[in-house]
Amino acid sequence: MVLAEPLLFTLGFNGCLLNKHKKIIMRKISLLLSLFLVISFAHAKKGGDNTLTKKEKKEGWILLFNGKTTDGWRKYGTKEFPKGWVIDDNALMCRGSGRGEAGAEDGGDILYDKKFENFHLKLEWKISEGGNSGIFYLGQERDDLDFIWKTAPEMQVLDNERHPDAELGTDGNRKAGSLYDLISAKPQNAKPAGQWNSVEIICYKGTVIHKQNGKVVVEYHLWTPEWEAMVSDSKFPALNANWAKVAKEGYIGLQDHGDDVWFKNIKLKVK
């Protein structure tokens, strides 16, 4: 009986320790499950890449790219989709040719095969080191013109740190987010090469807004004397007959400038 009492005490003490450890483990598991549920809920609410949230669907947003196919997209001037563009990591990627603007044999600018007039466009882009590209809107397709930029305003996509275009033009109007060669993006808040930038383009009855990483960086109005004067003072004066007089509706395009570039979460709402 004397020997049994210490043994029983020891077993009881060890049992208490086991119960305590079990409780600690259960609390940790419960905490991890709660954290997982919170993250899952937040992700579901935000929506994954190339998807629409319930709120966006209710507001009338449409996806222009689903992350899996190139449906709806084609090369400028043709009905085919160019082999120089691929789907890479759920993004539309232009594989750089190193030959400059649309220089690849199987490259070229691409456009979404539907014209829009008043709209709100959202997308994300990232550029390779030293890379250059662009986002076009209100673009036209004509047999006598070889590039969409000859008819369309362009939101610049650029590695500001390495590409020489960042130092050309006037007052930084060829840096990322700018209305290319016309209006500088201010503040200049583009992220470095290899990082995703979120941008928006809003067109409504001639008023155009560029947003980059949550900030309004450009605002202007088409079809005004000020607009025509600005174009005539840019690198585009020879194109005034078909460029300054931007169409009221047109295509959205993505540029092949010979460098690796990625686009995802391309969505639009007609205004």
For residue 2, what pLDDT band results from cuts at 50, 70 and 90?
A: low
Q: How confident is the model at residue 14 (pLDDT cuts 50, 70, 90)?
A: low
Is the domain of 34 the same as that of 149? no
Averaged pLDDT of the chain: 86
In which domain, by residue range, is 191 found? Answer: 54-270
CATH number of domain containing 85: 2.60.120.560
* Torsion angles phi and psi, residue 172, rounded to 5: 75, 25
Asked if 42 and 61 sit in the same domain, the reply is no
What's the pLDDT score for residue 189?
A: 98
Q: Tell me how far apart the alpha carbons of residues 33 and 21 are, in angstroms, rounded to a whole number.
A: 18
Residue 225: which region, alpha, beta or left (left: phi > 0; alpha: psi -120 to 50)? alpha
Based on the fold, state whether residues 29 and 105 are members of the same structural domain.
Answer: no
Summarised one tens digit per residue, pLDDT across range 97-106 is: 887 776 667 8
pLDDT-above-90 percentage for the chain: 69
Are 217 and 176 within one domain? yes
pLDDT 10s digits, 59-86: 999 999 999 999 999 999 999 999 999 9
Q: Which band of pLDDT confidence, cut at 50, 70 and 90, is reported for residue 235?
A: confident
In the prediction, which pLDDT does 232 show? 84
pLDDT band at 183 (very low <50, low <70, confident <90, very high): very high
Are residues 123 and 184 both part of a single domain? yes
Question: In terms of DSSP bridges, do strands 73-75 and 85-88 run parallel, antiparallel, or are they unpaired?
Answer: unpaired
Per-residue pLDDT of 109-144, as tens digits, reads 999 999 999 999 999 999 999 999 999 999 999 888
CB atoms within 10 A of CB 84: 21
- pLDDT band at 41, cuts 50/70/90? very low
Please give the tally of structural domains in the chain: 2
Backbone φ and ψ for 243, nearest 5 degrees, come out as -110, -50
CA atoms of 206 and 135, how far apart (whole Å): 18
Indicate left, alpha or beta for 77 from its phi (over 0: left) and psi (-120 to 50: alpha). left
Determine which of 162-166, 235-239, 248-252 has the lowest per-residue pLDDT on average: 235-239
pLDDT for 100 equals 72
Query: What's the confidence (pLDDT) of residue 129?
Result: 97
d(CA 241, CA 151): 10
| C-alpha to C-alpha distance for 148 and 105, rounded to whole angstroms | 17
Q: What pLDDT score does 37 carry?
A: 44
Residues 149 and 37 in one domain: no
Q: Is residue 42 located within the same domain as residue 58?
A: no
Q: 193 pLDDT exceeds 90?
A: yes
Give yes or no: residues 65 and 194 share one domain.
Answer: yes
What the block records as the tokens of 42 is 């937040």
Reduced to 3 states, what is the DSSP secondary structure of residue 18? helix
